[in-house]
């Protein structure tokens, strides 16, 4: 389901985090439960005296544990596409697991022939309940049901029968304590998630600000340097061409002088809005290189395609004046391009120099045009 508001998105993020944390924390306990029952039955000799009941409990424990382990391993694959089924299986298996241990807890305290198991089982139940309220707290509602099914049947049975009332009181107090502690753990878990989420979003925002030009919202010079290095190394491995386009708004100083710097800022924003759809079409990246100069990096395009990209940007800007209300400002650009298939012996700086020289040639030739430079071959260099 697509979130409609930021609050919905936060709730969905929290739900996903809690679900995955629950699985991560629960699986080690499932492995422990898988080996707990044979240790209890075999160490006390109960298995020799009651092989059928021991086998039934053993089979039930094994099947539930195995299904929970399988469910946990399939979580990453099916969580998003089949969430309702995933959650139903998680809830069902967890509560069946609790009911199995709860039934054993009931039997060892209220049925005489199970009495020899009481010490070990009561210790295991106390450990399971205590561990659950901490490790399974991401899904608090499910954890409350889990602990309640584990403990409360014994309370009700002893209260109704009037026997072992001290056990009823102890278990009830233990249950109340776990509910209270669990609520606090849940509150702290949710608070920690919100803090972590806020810090993460702030880091993403700061990362974006460090790499985004605040005026035009295009990538900035720092981002250009990082992307250029990354694309250069990638193209060395893939042997794809890498093209650099240097763009300069013609007579930008005159625009500032004639209309003022605020209007000049509008021109820069207008330039980016006009050029961006074209760069997106070519899967290219646009950067504010400095002042009124911009750069475009594009991977996998040959010289002809690069020249076509540059010409489309020139034509689009020329045919899209900026309307400021009082006047209409016609803008043009000059562009210089250079394309190379990078190798370890080539130079990134050389590519920038050649594209910059091509830009200078376009400006000296009259502006509002595109000029290209060829990257010299290794033999020519």
* Chain CA centroid to CA 114, Å: 50
Three-state DSSP string of 44-79 = HCHHHHCHHHHHHHHHHHHHHHHHHHHHHHCHHHHC
Cite the DSSP H helix spans in 250-347: 252-259, 261-281, 303-318
pLDDT at res. 5? 59
Report the top-level CATH class of 221-374.
Answer: alpha beta
Using the CB atoms, write b or e for 39-57: b if 16+ within 10 Å. Answer: ebbeebebbeebeeebeeb
In the sheet where 333-340 sits, what is the strand order?
A: 285-290, 293-299, 242-249, 333-340, 370-374
| pLDDT confidence of residue 7 | 64
In DSSP terms, 285 is beta-bridged to: 297
> How does pLDDT run across 68-115, given as a tens digit for each residue?
999 999 999 999 999 999 999 999 999 999 999 999 999 989 988 888
Using the structure block, give the residue that is written with the tokens 């091509």. 358
Name 70's bridge partners.
none
- pLDDT means per 10 residues, the chain with 381 residues, are 59 87 88 81 80 85 91 91 93 92 91 87 90 86 93 91 86 93 89 84 76 90 93 94 96 91 93 95 93 95 94 95 86 95 91 96 95 78 48
Cβ neighbors of 246 (< 8 A, separation 6 or more) are 289, 293, 294, 295, 335, 336, 337, 352, 355, 356, 358, 359
CA distances from 120 to 33, 40, 55, 178 (A): 13, 7, 18, 21
**pLDDT value, residue 199:** 82
pLDDT at site 231: 94
Phi, psi of 90 (to 5 degrees): -60, -50
* Residue 340 bridge partners (DSSP): 242
User: What sign results for the dihedral spanned by CA atoms 278, 280, 283, 287?
Assistant: positive
Q: Are 142 and 94 in contact (CB under 8 A)?
A: yes
Predicted model pTM = 0.60
Which of 249, 334, 262, 263 is closest to 292 using CA atoms? 249
């Amino acid at each position: 389901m697509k979130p409609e508001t930021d609050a919905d998105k936060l709730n969905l993020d929290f739900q996903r985090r809690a679900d995955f944390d629950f699985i991560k924390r629960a699986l080690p306990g499932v492995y422990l439960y898988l080996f707990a029952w044979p240790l209890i039955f075999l160490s006390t000799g109960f298995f020799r005296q009651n092989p059928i009941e021991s086998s039934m409990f053993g089979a039930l424990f094994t099947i539930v544990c195995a299904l929970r382990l399988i469910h946990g391993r399939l979580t990453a694959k099916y969580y998003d596409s089949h969430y309702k089924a995933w959650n139903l299986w998680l809830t069902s298996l967890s509560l069946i697991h609790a009911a199995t241990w709860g039934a054993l807890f009931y039997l060892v305290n209220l049925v005489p022939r199970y009495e020899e198991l009481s010490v070990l089982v009561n210790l295991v139940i106390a450990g399971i309940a205590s561990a659950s309220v901490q490790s399974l707290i991401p899904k608090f509602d499910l954890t409350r049901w889990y602990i309640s099914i584990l403990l409360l049947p014994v309370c009700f049975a002893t209260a109704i029968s009037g026997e072992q009332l001290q056990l009823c009181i102890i278990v009830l107090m233990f249950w109340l304590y776990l509910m209270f502690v669990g609520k606090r753990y849940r509150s702290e878990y949710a608070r920690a998630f919100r803090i972590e989420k806020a810090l993460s979003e702030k880091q993403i925002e700061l990362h974006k600000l460090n790499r985004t030009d605040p005026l035009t919202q295009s990538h900035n010079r720092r981002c250009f340097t990082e992307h250029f290095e990354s694309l250069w190394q990638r193209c060395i491995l893939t042997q794809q061409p890498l093209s650099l386009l240097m763009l300069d708004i013609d007579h930008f100083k005159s625009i500032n002088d004639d209309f003022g710097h605020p209007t000049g800022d509008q021109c820069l924003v207008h330039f980016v809005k006009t050029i961006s759809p074209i760069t997106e079409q070519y899967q290219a990246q646009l950067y504010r290189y400095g002042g009124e100069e911009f750069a475009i990096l594009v991977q996998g395009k040959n010289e002809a395609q690069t020249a076509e990209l540059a010409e489309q940007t020139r034509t689009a800007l020329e045919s899209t004046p900026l309307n400021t209300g009082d006047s209409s400002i016609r803008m043009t650009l000059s562009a210089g391009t250079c394309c190379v298939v990078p190798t370890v012996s080539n130079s990134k700086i050389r590519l920038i120099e050649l594209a910059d020289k091509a830009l200078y040639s376009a400006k000296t030739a009259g502006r509002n045009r595109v000029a290209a430079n060829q990257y010299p071959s290794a033999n020519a260099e």
